[in-house]
Amino acid sequence: MNLIRFWYNSPMVIVFHSKLSKAECIFRIKANAEENTILANLSTIVNFDKGFFYKIDGDDLTLKKVIYYRNSFQSIFYGEFVEESKGTRIEGYFSMHILVKIFMGIWFGGVTLMGVIEFTAVPSVGIIGYILMLVFGIFIIIGGKYMGKKQEKEIVEFIEKTLEAKIEKN
């Protein structure tokens, strides 16, 4: 989990404590959310009964809100179940999908590189276009993350309600 947390560069770790066993926590997630399959990507045209998608791989949990519009910057909860003597600890964080982060890194790098090449070869007004593309990229990320804030709150509430969990205050 530490390597994943480093890769996603998430600033805030959220810790939940549930009195339920790990097996019961997993059972309740599966009972109250849709499994994240290929259909999850069709959520803009397919109506799902449950409001969340999950993926469980061993102790790892991925949870995201079902949305009926496209938002590549959607907040996704990446967590881990840890069995404890008095229940289960769910430790995780919110981040966007890794492929979106990679794409945006390449996009920002490409725009910056082209702008630098253009400016050093022939300083001109054309550099304004590259600056505007960088500003547009920043605003589209900010807008997508803003739209995802409500989803983060709903995911936290889902975990608290479904797993009878309390959030650990730091």
**In the chain, where are the structural domains located?**
2-97+155-167
- Chain-wide mean pLDDT for the chain? 82
pLDDT tens track for 87-112: 999 999 988 878 888 888 888 888 88
Residue 149 identity: K
Return the percentage of the chain with pLDDT > 70, whole number.
84
What's the confidence (pLDDT) of residue 8? 46
How far are the Cα atoms of 66, 82, 116, 122, 123 from residue 30, in angstroms, in the given order? 15, 17, 50, 59, 58
pLDDT band at 11 (very low <50, low <70, confident <90, very high): low
Compute φ and ψ for 85, nearest 5 degrees: -65, -30
Q: What is the pTM of this model?
A: 0.76
Residue 32 CB neighbour total at 10 angstroms? 15
pLDDT tens track for 120-161: 777 666 677 778 888 888 888 888 778 778 888 999 999 999
19 three-class SS:
coil
pLDDT tens track for 37-92: 766 556 555 556 678 889 999 999 999 988 777 777 788 899 999 999 999 999 99
Query: Which class in CATH covers the domain with range 2-97+155-167?
Result: alpha beta
